[in-house]
Amino acid sequence: MSDDPLAHGTILPEPDLPNGGELLATGRVLARDWQVGTCAFLEHHGVASEAVFKRDAVTRGMIMRHAQIGFRDIEKTRRCYHEIWERCASAGARVDRYGMTLDWAMGYPLAMRDSGPRGTGMWLKGAEDFVAVTARAPVAPHFGDWMLGFPGALTNTQWALAAGSTAIGNLGQLFTFRLPGWDDDIACVAETVKALGLIAAQPVEVLVHANLDDGFAATFQDLACCLGAALIERHIVEDLIGAPMAHCYGHHFSEPVARLAFHLALSDGATAPGSMIYGNTTSYRGEPAQNWASLASYLLADIMGQRLAPTGHAINPVPITEGSRIPDIDEIVEAQLFADRLIGQAEGLAPLIDPEPARLEAARIVAGGRAFRDAVLGGLADRGYDTTDPFVLFLALRRIGAARLETAFGPGIPVAASPVRRELDAMAGRRLEVVDTATRAIIAGADLTALIATSDVHEHGKTLLETMCRELGVAVVDGGVSVDPDDLARRTAASGCDLVCISTYNGIALDYVESFLEEARARGVMVPVLVGGRLNQIPGNTNTSLPVDVGDALGRLGVAVCRDAADLVPALLDAASGRQP
Ligand code: B12
């Protein structure tokens, strides 16, 4: 066995993995029966695909606009597909594309969808359901979440194509997302490669979308590695598979210079055209009025970016309520009208802005990104991976993960530090500076161990708690990301930890904690449990689209309900005091 943690035999030990070429061929054959159908957008604008529309928009100096929709209630989604477009139009504004938020249940193979867990999104049962939505208004349908990257990838892609969708994703999720209870990553990648074969064989251009922030970009420490990841995806999709690649970024890009710099870097050969620029949703914490300022700040950077280097990306005015729950129709319209006015006003503001610092940072990101791409592809080839096979590359990258890729192939000396890491360190610092010396001494002296885990892909809360624990002299056991409740109970029992911290965001807080406690009790685990994040859930047996807070119910289960990371400190103090002789 090799000492190299990235050795081929360590990362891909299975003797009979599927062959990428054969998977692509399986997908291509399906293009005889499954081709891009029509939808109100393609008909109204008389274009063959959204890519054509995007290039035309660039030529005309028009900035596209994106809105994210997808309620659990399909009728409501159909209604809003038309209503948002109509209300924007009657106020003289446009909405050009909708990102459709599918429920995670749709990521499972067809046969498992009825019995699997449900999230907060929309669930379409077949091609006719897709068509019934996209026929409602001349807005380009983009199907991204829970499509590519999951065992249901091929089925969902067939249905989306039939409904006239010419932007399909979300390749970013292939690298990081995990369906609850689903451990077969080979099926996730194999079905995705088949779907990409089908997309590449379409008679019109179908953009393969990847949201970088859904993938490795959220956890890389350096923006050069984020760009490098985009370049690697582009190489696999365009050079190896033959489909056009379109990138999206934005959730985590809070600093205007870094945001604009990343856009300029991406426009230098990584994506053309781009899908959309996501809203800087991590900046939505606080009162509504404060969040409006965040909306204006990131939109302005994105509008300037499209003026300086038009890429066809649609800008995305995310409603300010997004920080606390799924936004409703009125709020989506409000945000669109805000963006429309801002685009007009940005004309007058442009001369006040000096893009030079962003250009300089972009040049560093481009050089660092290309070096990272070459180091990753070269490093894998040297280790005997077949880097001409998309299946091998996707599976290897997913299994290696962001942290190990960055350590092995990253720049070493930072090129452009990622804003996420800096923000999390600052959040930890603010909470720790008020902890007095006596408290610190008690906690540090108690030799505590905390096991920290997440129920889903959101891992910033976990990183924040880990940073705080280390600063306070508490040992950390990694309980995992997107870990199932039974696995978490097993890890807790094995770890001998003094307390468990669960960070959960996907609207399943109550179900998740109940199952965890049941599994933990069965294993005789009796340690304090802290739960934080987004503590809500859609009420069972209803078709309501909005989750409700379940803090009280969680409290009744006997766990510590934490609304802030600062709640960690008294819990550690209790655990430490319990340990005092
Ligand atoms: C960043 C983000 C993402 C990133 C995550 C990147 C990553 N690798 O971590 C990406 C883009 C990948 C993402 C994906 C999704 N997201 Co998201 N995301 C967010 C966002 C913008 C920020 C959350 C965050 O990390 N905040 C940073 C942390 C540090 O701060 P905080 O959340 O305020 O937490 C504080 C406390 O709660 C505490 N804390 C947190 N956990 C714990 C635990 C303990 C024990 C303690 C003591 C304290 C504590 O620490 C913080 C400081 O006090 C929120 C919206 C928002 N503005 O909050 C949506 C949000 C959480 N996401 C949401 C959703 C729906 C999703 C998706 C399901 C969407 C989809 N694509 O289908 C996917 C998840 C898919 C999956 N596989 O699970 C919803 C959840 C809806 C709900 N439950 O009501 C939100 C609220 C957005 C929304 N309104 O729709 N997301």
Statement to judge: residues 352 and 427 lie in one domain: no
Q: Which domain range does residue 253 map to?
A: 19-359
CATH number at 501 reads 3.40.50.280
Helix crossing, 20-30 with 153-162: angle to 10°? 30
* Alpha-carbon span 433 to 431, nearest angstrom: 6
Statement to judge: residues 347 and 438 lie in one domain: no
Q: Each residue of 317-334: pLDDT tens digit?
A: 999 998 877 889 999 999
Ligand 1 closest atom vs CA 103: 72
Give the pLDDT of residue 568: 98
Q: Each residue of 391-447: pLDDT tens digit?
A: 999 999 999 999 999 999 999 888 988 888 888 999 999 999 999 999 999 999 999
Give the pLDDT of residue 545: 57
**Which contacts (CB < 8 Å, 24+ apart) does range 7-11 have?**
7/383, 8/383, 8/384, 8/385, 11/396, 11/399, 11/400
Look at residue 400 and tell me if it is in a domain.
no
Statement to judge: residues 43 and 183 lie in one domain: yes
Helix crossing, 437-445 with 568-579: angle to 10°? 60
Choose one of 108, 120, 458 to mutate for the ligand 1 pocket test, by most ligand atoms within 8 angstroms of C-beta.
458
CA of residue 240 to ligand 1 center, whole Å: 34
Averages of pLDDT over each 10 residues, the chain, 581 residues: 88 97 98 97 98 97 96 91 98 97 93 80 93 97 96 98 98 94 96 98 98 92 95 97 97 94 91 91 91 96 97 97 86 98 94 95 96 98 98 98 95 88 92 96 96 95 97 96 95 96 93 96 94 87 71 96 97 83 31
Task: Please measure the distance between the N-terminal and C-terminal CA atoms of the chain and give it in whole angstroms.
Answer: 47
Q: Is 277 exposed, middle or buried (0-12, 13-18, 19+ CB in 10 A)?
A: buried
Whether residue 211 has a cis bond before it, omega within 30° of 0: no
Give the pLDDT of residue 543: 56
Q: How many residues does the chain have?
A: 581
Look at residue 417 and tell me if it is in a domain.
no
Statement to judge: residues 168 and 38 lie in one domain: yes
Look at residue 3 and tell me if it is in a domain.
no
Instruction: Single out the residue in 359, 387, 406 at which a domain terminates.
Output: 359
Instruction: Single out the residue in 323, 338, 359 at which a domain terminates.
Output: 359
Give the pLDDT of residue 148: 97
Look at residue 7 and tell me if it is in a domain.
no
Query: Structure tokens of 220?
Result: 């890389």
Give the pLDDT of residue 580: 41
Give the pLDDT of residue 118: 73
Look at residue 406 and tell me if it is in a domain.
no
Q: Each residue of 468-486: pLDDT tens digit?
A: 999 999 999 999 999 999 9
Statement to judge: residues 324 and 466 lie in one domain: no
SS3 236: helix
CA of residue 468 to ligand 1 center, whole Å: 19
Look at residue 103 and tell me if it is in a domain.
yes
| H or E, element range at 477 | strand 475-480
* Alpha-carbon span 480 to 483, nearest angstrom: 6
Statement to judge: residues 321 and 437 lie in one domain: no
CATH number at 225 reads 3.20.20.240
Give the pLDDT of residue 354: 94
Give the pLDDT of residue 334: 98
Statement to judge: residues 456 and 352 lie in one domain: no
Instruction: Single out the residue in 336, 359, 382 at which a domain terminates.
Output: 359
Q: Beta strand 536-537 with 548-549: parallel, antiparallel or unpaired?
A: antiparallel
Residue entry with tokens 């907060």: 120
Statement to judge: residues 65 and 187 lie in one domain: yes
Look at residue 475 and tell me if it is in a domain.
yes
Domain count, the chain: 2
Give the pLDDT of residue 579: 53
Ligand 1 closest atom vs CA 424: 29
Within 6 A (CB) of ligand 1 lie 101, 119-121, 145, 177, 213-214, 218-219, 251, 281-282, 284-285, 322-323, 325-326, 427, 456-461, 464-465, 501-503, 505-507, 530-534, 536, 547, 562, 564-565, 567-568
Q: What is the reported pTM?
A: 0.93
Statement to judge: residues 55 and 141 lie in one domain: yes
Query: Structure tokens of 479?
Result: 């309980």
Ligand 1 closest atom vs CA 452: 45
Statement to judge: residues 342 and 441 lie in one domain: no
Q: Beta strand 66-69 with 475-480: parallel, antiparallel or unpaired?
A: unpaired
Look at residue 167 and tell me if it is in a domain.
yes
* Cβ-contact 497, 470 below 8 angstroms: no
